[in-house]
Amino acid sequence: MKLFIKFDINTICSLYLKQNLEQNNINFTTLGFGEIEIEDNLDAEALDNLKTKLAPCGFEVVENQKSVLVQKIKDAIIELVFMDDSNNYKSSVFLAEKLNHSYGYLSNVFSEVTYSSIENFIILQKIERAKQLIIINEMSLTEIAFLLNYSSVAHLSTQFKNTTGITPSAFQRIIKKRRENLK
């Protein structure tokens, strides 16, 4: 039997982080997604131990200030893309208000650190979200395009194909065929 499971990556990450911090008897407060405040001072050995425990699942303690800001930008973009009402926000305004910096500054720092643009990262996240929504199979492509703030299904399809190499319709057919083959 095969099950298709819908999950929230933010919740999973938060729970995993909480579990590891509690196992190491580290008192902390969650400030936001990807940001915690350690209530006690950690010595170098305890910090290295924590980094080692978090690394296998892709968690990394970010220490450079520009890298911290880039991570906050990425987290905010992921939050925006996964919001059910993301249509109500323009990404540049959302990021500037959330991070208390001008969009121009955020864009420059992001490009300097990642060698890519905020716009490209947003597109990648939107396409990942579209793929998840297609796999869940609860929405039409028109509804997905609207949810992800695309001007049309054609616009979504163009970006989807440019990013993945196939159209959303072809992706849907592949998912449908896989499901049929598993029965």
Q: DSSP letters of 26-60?
A: --EEEEETTEEEESSPPPHHHHHHHHHHHGGGT--
pLDDT, average across residues 6-33? 80
105 contacts: CB under 8 Å, gap ≥ 6: none
pLDDT grade for 58, boundaries at 50, 70 and 90: confident
pLDDT, average across residues 1-13? 74
Query: Could you read off the pLDDT of 107-157 as tens digits, one per residue?
Result: 999 999 999 999 999 999 999 999 999 988 888 999 999 989 898 999 999
SS3 assignment for 127-162: HHHHHHHHHHCCCCHHHHHHHCCCCCHHHHHHHHHH
For the chain, give the mean pLDDT: 86
